[in-house]
Amino acid sequence: DGGITQSPKYLFRKEGQNVTLSCEQNLNHDAMYWYRQDPGQGLRLIYYSQIVNDFQKGDIAEGYSVSREKKESFPLTVTSAQKNPTAFYLCASSIGGTYYEQYFGPGTRLTVT
Amino acid sequence: SQQGEEDPQALSIQEGENATMNCSYKTSINNLQWYRQNSGRGLVHLILIRSNEREKHSGRLRVTLDTSKKSSSLLITASRAADTASYFCAPRGNEKLTFGTGTRLTIIP
């Protein structure tokens, strides 16, 4: 099955700990994205990558970090510097740049207490 | 960043009725996309309309685009319970990507 996967579905962490969210795609897409969604809100862009070994900050990059060492993988680390990390995190990919339709993973719900 | 604003924020209709939701945006676009999100799930791409198109159909979906008014509408005909979801528009131009807060559609059986 082609698609985009995120793991785990639910993640619980104590405040002050870094946590890494996984995102993998087998669609052979060049571009990948991370979004954050808070209850009743839209999606806000955290980071995006249009090609391996390159990524750009989105609107709310502070307290987050990413890497893009392989085309199929775009992990997101939520650091202890992120003041309010509890949210629903969505990863997406697209065949090309920002004009193309995006394919989304099922999301990871992170709870930090 | 380019953000679409959907209207209304929430819409409840009887099954079988048509649902219309609107999107407004601020700057020039290359295309505009509509997505659906079921509760607690990822978004699913529904339809893309290019800036030089005025109307597009896909099954029970009809999308219109008026670039002079910087607005788009999504019509879902003959609604079904399974259409209950949030719908987001995504105007795509030269600015950073983002999505609006969406229209929450509830289909009443």
pLDDT, residue A109, reads 97
Q: Cα(B93)–Cα(A24) distance, rounded to whole angstroms?
A: 26
pLDDT, residue B2, reads 62
Q: Cα(B37)–Cα(A28) distance, rounded to whole angstroms?
A: 24
Per-residue pLDDT in tens (0 to 9) along chain B, 109 residues: 567 889 999 999 999 999 999 999 988 999 999 999 999 999 999 999 999 999 999 999 999 999 999 999 999 999 999 999 999 999 998 776 778 889 999 999 9
pLDDT, residue B5, reads 87
Q: Which residues of chain A have pLDDT under 70?
A: 1-2
Structure token digits, residue B23: 């999107």
pLDDT, residue A111, reads 96
Question: Is A45 in Cβ contact with B98 (below 8 Å)?
Answer: yes
Which residues in chain A (74-113) have CB-CB distances under 8 A to chain B?
88, 90, 92, 98-99, 101-107, 109
Question: Is B3 in Cβ contact with A33 (below 8 Å)?
Answer: no
The string of DSSP letters for A10-33 reads EEEE-TT--EEEEEEE-S--SEEE
pLDDT, residue B82, reads 96
Nearest CA in chain B to A56: B96
3-class DSSP assignment, residue B64: strand
CA angle A47, A53, A59 (to 5 degrees): 15
Question: Is A41 in Cβ contact with B43 (below 8 Å)?
Answer: no
C-alpha dist (Å) from residue A15 to A21, A89, B6, B47, B54: 16, 17, 35, 40, 50
C-alpha dist (Å) from residue B58 to A4, B4, B20, B71: 24, 21, 15, 19
- Asked whether A6 and A21 are in contact (CB, 8 A), the reply is yes
pLDDT, residue B30, reads 93
Total CB pairs under 8 A between chain A and B: 56
Question: Is B40 in Cβ contact with A102 (below 8 Å)?
Answer: no
pLDDT, residue B99, reads 83
Question: Is A106 in Cβ contact with B41 (below 8 Å)?
Answer: yes
pLDDT, residue B93, reads 85
Listed in sequence order, the residues at least 6 apart from B77 whose beta carbon sits closer than 8 Å to its beta carbon are B18, B60, B61, B62
Bridge partners, residue A108, by sequence: A89
Q: Cα(B17)–Cα(B108) distance, rounded to whole angstroms?
A: 10
Nearest CA in chain A to B41: A106
Interface probe with B: pick from A4, A104, A109, most Cβ of B within 10 Å: A104
